Structure 1
Amino acid sequence: MEMLRVAPSYPRLDDLKQRAQASGPVRVGVVYPCETGALAATIAASDLGFIDPVLIGPGALIRRIAAENGLDLGKLMIIEADDPLDAARRGVALAGAGEVGALMKGSLHTDELLGAVVARDSPLRMGRRTSHVFWFDCPAYHKPLMLTDAVVNIAPGLMEKADIVRNAIDLAHRLGNPKPKVAILAAVETVNPALPSTIDAASLCKMADRGQITGAVLDGPLGFDNAVSLTSATTKGIISLVAGEPDILVVPNLDAGNSLYKSLVYLGGAACAGLVLGARVPIILTSRADSVQARVASCALAALAASPRPN
């Protein structure tokens, strides 16, 4: 007998979108939107009031894609760029000049856009490692949950992880959480020299104790089970201010992060949004496999991330 699947509701995602609408649209440079999904999501996010898009790419091609798919560009501005690399450079220049408050990946490759963002002469460099943060509305978890880094940094070292943590904390602050709880994940919850991830986790927590990382409560190493479940932590005798209540999960490497992200979405039924942080403007880095809902949610997240930090 086939089981009836009930689509989950996402009240926290709805709240995120409402807050983004209330904050007003951020002007976004959409870099090389020469694919139907990217263009449709851009128009949908614009219609919802999350973004004020500026399309950067070959105008004739963009208009043809829109016409073939029944997409109304209306009065959207198009800035001509011959190819993906030219579009990425023009987008970075616009952001550096303050003409757009965020960038959004269209149909170019991720490394083409991020390469322009972090180039030696880029006006968007801040002296901090760029990293990606996913924001989730998980039906099985009692509040929004962030995960970092599952996209950009493959095998970060300690100091790179410190920046990854700082970027996620900054986003939590902009979303209105003044003291997020951060779980530094590893395979086990005890420090083991044979597992470098546990050494890094303990070091990050000590950096927080010494004021090198501020604005959050950190704990680690924590296994995923005792990070998200107070019952699991109590069973193992772990006394922690973070266990069962994390706002941010920090993974040891991209393999772990990417697997966890896909598990939450495809098995856990989570809705998500994502941004690249650590540059002077947030970057909406979507995948061709992302749904229009995920792309639009990322635009809402960018609108809040680009807004002035709450007092």
Structure 2
Amino acid sequence: MEAHARYERLLEYCKALPPLPVAVAHPCDASSLGGAIEAAGMGLITPILVGPRARIEAVAAEHGIVIDGYEVVDAPFSEAAAEAAVGLVREGRAEALMKGSLHTDELMAAVVRRDAGMRTARRISHCFVMDVPGHDQALIITDAAINIAPTLEDKVHIVQNAIDLAHALMVDEVRVAILSAMETINPKVPSTIEAAAICKMVDRRQITGALVDGPLALDNAIDIQAATIKQIDSPVAGRANVLVVPDLEAGNMLAKSLSFLAGADAAGIVLGARVPIILTSRADSVLSRLASCAVAVLVARARRENAKIMG
């Protein structure tokens, strides 16, 4: 498959859907402001720009970004912009948040505040949706950005968030690999014990919606030949499309290795809050930023549809 083909298909699909109202927190540099406006130009989102008005207008003028016609909510500094963006969600005026040129911690602090109205019963977690050249399917990698050293209880939420994301992305069969350094259970390696517990929770329907197996090493999670050589009899081994890493460090290194050594594109989304949160990096390509917006569009649609069913 050609490079970027999956993202291109994703963008084409989402262009046919109504644009998603998004509160963009502190878009005060060219990449964050330009990314939001480009996504708006493609019909993916309707941005509400939240931050110091004079600074946003200055960045737009300096870089030739046309923001005429888009609402600007004046907020004097980054923390205030994060709080105001969350307020727009609380008021029902935005169905997603997007990180601008502020630290992730600043945005997430506003999201997780007890009085912000953004919390759900789920633990908040991050997923990369990665388009890896030469690999026959997109890979969801979690959690590489939010939970530093997740407990077993945290991982239950991380796994379920990723499964729900895969369904929102219309993945036909969700196959989750709980990664470790080995495929056997070793009491000296805690991630293997947690992987075994998660698999038993799947058996007991405490986690639903996917085939789940672990512990699996990365090679026998994604390479069918490696799984065959190790004689692993599993519907997931060699065919995983969701990779759950032991901790943030492992996830961050895996995702960045794929990006910088294998040329993969990485769309980023935060799940588990009341609305999806588009989390991009200054190093992200334009295509990755647009794909992150498209992922948020599909997540928001799935939540609306689920609310109708539950309602």
TM bin, normalised by shorter chain, reads over 0.9
Q: Which amino acid aligns with 1:39?
A: L
Deviations 1:26-74 (A, max 9, x none): 0000000011110111111111111100000111110011001111112
Secondary structure of 2:301 counterpart? coil
Residue 125 of structure 2: aligned partner: 131
Q: Which amino acid aligns with 2:253?
A: S
Per the TM alignment, residue 178 of structure 1 is displaced from its structure 2 partner at its CA by 5.5
Percent pairwise identity: 52
Per the TM alignment, residue 186 of structure 1 is displaced from its structure 2 partner at its CA by 0.2
Unaligned runs of 5+ in 1: 1-7
1:284-299 matches, within 5 Å, as 284-299=278-293
2:16 to 8, 18, 22: 22
Per the TM alignment, residue 24 of structure 1 is displaced from its structure 2 partner at its CA by 2.2
1:60 to 42, 54, 78: 54
Residue 12 of structure 1: aligned partner: 6
Residue 218 of structure 2: aligned partner: 224
Q: Does the alignment pair 1:243 with 2:237?
A: yes
Per the TM alignment, residue 258 of structure 1 is displaced from its structure 2 partner at its CA by 0.5
Per the TM alignment, residue 300 of structure 1 is displaced from its structure 2 partner at its CA by 1.3
Residue 112 of structure 2: aligned partner: 118
Secondary structure of 1:307 counterpart? helix
Per the TM alignment, residue 293 of structure 1 is displaced from its structure 2 partner at its CA by 2.2
Secondary structure of 1:23 counterpart? coil
Runs of 4 or more, structure 1, over 2 Å off, are 308-311
Residue 144 of structure 1: aligned partner: 138
1:16-165 matches, within 5 Å, as 16-165=10-159
Q: Which amino acid aligns with 2:99?
A: K
* TM-score normalised over the length of structure 1: 0.95
Residue 3 of structure 1: aligned partner: none
Contact kept in structure 1, 2:147 and 2:247, CA below 8 Å: yes
Distance 2:230 2:302 in 1: 42
Distance 2:302 2:229 in 1: 42
Deviations 1:253-290 (A, max 9, x none): 01110010011111111112010000010001111222
Distance 2:260 2:154 in 1: 29
Contact kept in structure 1, 2:11 and 2:290, CA below 8 Å: no
Structure with the largest fraction of helix = 2
Q: Which amino acid aligns with 1:90?
A: A
Unaligned runs of 5+ in 2: 307-311
Per the TM alignment, residue 21 of structure 1 is displaced from its structure 2 partner at its CA by 0.9
Distance 1:259 1:109 in 2: 20
Distance 1:40 1:293 in 2: 12
Q: Which amino acid aligns with 1:307?
A: R
Secondary structure of 1:306 counterpart? helix
Secondary structure of 1:308 counterpart? helix
Residue 304 of structure 1: aligned partner: 298
Q: Which amino acid aligns with 2:130?
A: F
Q: How many residues align?
A: 305
Q: Which amino acid aligns with 1:14?
A: E
Cα root mean square deviation, aligned:
1.4
